[in-house]
Amino acid sequence: MAKGARILSYAVRLQVVGHLTGLLCWTLTPLPALPLLVALFNGETGFAARLATGLVLLAVAGFAGMRLSLSRPRLNEVMVVSAMAFALPPFFMAWTFGAFGIGYVGALFESVSGLTTTGLSVLGPPEDLPPSVLFTRAWMQWFGGLGFVVLALGLMGGAGRSAARRLGEAEEVAKDPLGSLRDRARRTLIVYSALTLACFVALWASGSGAWHALLLCLTALSTGGFAFDSGSAAALQGWVPRTILIGFSTLGAVSAGIYLHLLRRKPLGTLMRTDLLGLAAFCAAAILGLGFLMWLDGGYAGREILAHAPFMALSAQTTTGYSTMGTASLPASALVFLMIAMAIGGNSGSTAGGVKTFRVLVAFAVMRLTLQRPSLPQTAATTLKVGGHEIDSAELQAIATVIGLAGATFLFAWLPFLAAGYGLDSLFDVVSATTTTGLSTGVAGPALEPHLKLVLSLAMLLGRVEFIALLVLLWPPTWLGQKFRS
């Protein structure tokens, strides 16, 4: 079987990857363009010069790549470019942050955290950062969130399905990589921008101020969590702006495919409704569970639990990362519970991280079927279904792979922290990074060792592209071997 797979497998074609990379570079030009305008407005010429350099390089690379002829892309070529969409831009953006004297490793961590919509930071108090850095971080999260949704829906098929199922449909999209992706991207951009604008207006009307409302709305829909203040969401005065913030963050964790169906006035399918109800159930369980554990600890008054438990639970479940209290002050049981919520995450096809609710629902269905089978006749035929959708063996294998890779990443990324003398708190930050959440017990900060910053950066990238795409990019047979001839 393995030998046959090697014979039938093909390496990526550099010309095809080059063309798709050129298309990617054109798509990435807004990433430095908007911060460039902000830097010029603030008179930060050094930062502006670096951003302008990057903008020109992206345009040139895009023009050069688009000149290469395009054959029908294969699945591994689509996955390679999808991984590069998140793996390459942080290296450039880290160089631009050097204009403010930020060390490269710290700047790289911040860039990865931004583009993957994580929100962990190692740059010190946000209130001490220049306005251009604050905007660039927020803009990277908004751009990265939009980019992931477009890749998930455009290159990877419909929302609500497993990674392999969506990627398996990439061959159909690849017949017209520009047309289908452009159409999905346009509609997704409309929905994403409309929700962002609504969030901005609501926050501004609640008294947050235009500048802070702008930063918050960019990081809410993207489930990013980069804050403008060391107190995170606790800096917002009153429950109204906090409710608005976490409310729109929760909307960001809903599959964009659902919004696209509503935009077209189409009824939601059974699978989409099941995934949406699953997210609602997990959110409710997270709120009740965290509230109960805080009450059980005995160190919190009822009013404190009501003020913090819903926000913190939703922030973890939607992988947003905003907080209204010090995460490290929570009891150990609550930290473990939040790690479970972060690991589950939001809907497939949303900006949220985690292994996604649909995969967890499938895992529950597998357990239910396993317990049910001993009571059935030996000749009984059983099928695995979730939301009326039958899960075939290939899809089940892919779901198990993603869940297994997530668990392996949690473990192996934690080992360097244990070797450095860190404890359970570091596991929380590792899970937070891998699920692109951003909640922290304080381990991820300016004092974190450089090699551990790189470990968390890799974990963030793996979690954002759902592990498989980045591993395909790094797998030698992807690049070495026989070439497919169309």
Whether residue 414 lies inside any domain: the answer is yes
Query: Is the pTM value of this prediction over 0.95?
Result: no
Q: What is the structure's pLDDT at 6?
A: 53
- If one counts the domains in the chain, the total is 1
In a domain, 404, yes or no: yes
Is 411 a domain residue? yes
458-480 per-position pLDDT tens digit? 999 999 988 888 888 888 888 88
Please indicate, yes or no, if residue 295 is contained in any of the structural domains.
yes
Alpha carbon separation from 180 to 15, 172, 304, 405, 439 (Å, rounded): 21, 9, 49, 30, 36
On whether residue 202 sits in a domain, the answer given is no
Q: What is the pLDDT of residues 222-270, one digit of tens each?
A: 999 899 999 999 999 889 999 999 999 999 999 988 888 888 888 888 8
Q: Count Cβ neighbours within 10 Å for each residue of 38-57 and write b for 16 or more, e otherwise.
A: bbeeeebeebbebbbebbee
Gap between the Cα atoms of 381 and 239, Å rounded: 53
In contact, 44 and 99? CB cutoff 8 Å: yes
Return per-residue pLDDT of the chain as tens, 486 residues.
445 445 557 888 888 888 888 888 888 899 999 999 999 999 999 999 999 999 999 999 988 888 887 777 787 888 888 888 888 899 989 999 888 888 899 999 999 999 999 999 998 899 988 999 999 999 999 999 888 777 655 544 333 344 334 333 334 444 444 455 667 777 888 899 999 999 999 999 999 899 999 999 999 999 998 999 999 999 998 899 999 999 999 999 999 888 888 888 888 888 888 899 999 999 999 999 999 999 999 889 999 999 999 999 999 999 999 999 999 999 999 999 999 999 999 998 889 999 999 999 999 999 998 888 888 787 777 788 888 778 888 888 889 999 999 999 999 999 999 999 999 899 999 999 999 999 999 999 999 999 999 999 999 999 998 888 888 888 888 888 766 565
pLDDT at 82: 84
Average pLDDT, the chain: 87
Q: How far apart are CA 217 and CA 203, in angstroms?
A: 8
Query: CA 231, CA 323: separation in Å to the nearest integer?
Result: 8
CA angle 333, 301, 426 (to 5 degrees): 30
Residue 418 forms part of a structural domain: yes
- Residue 475 pLDDT: 85
Residue 355 within a domain = yes
* Predicted pLDDT at 180: 58
Report the pLDDT value the prediction gives residue 206, as an integer from 0 to 100.
93
Query: For residue 425, what are the domain limits?
Result: 268-373+386-442
Is 13 among the domain residues?
A: no
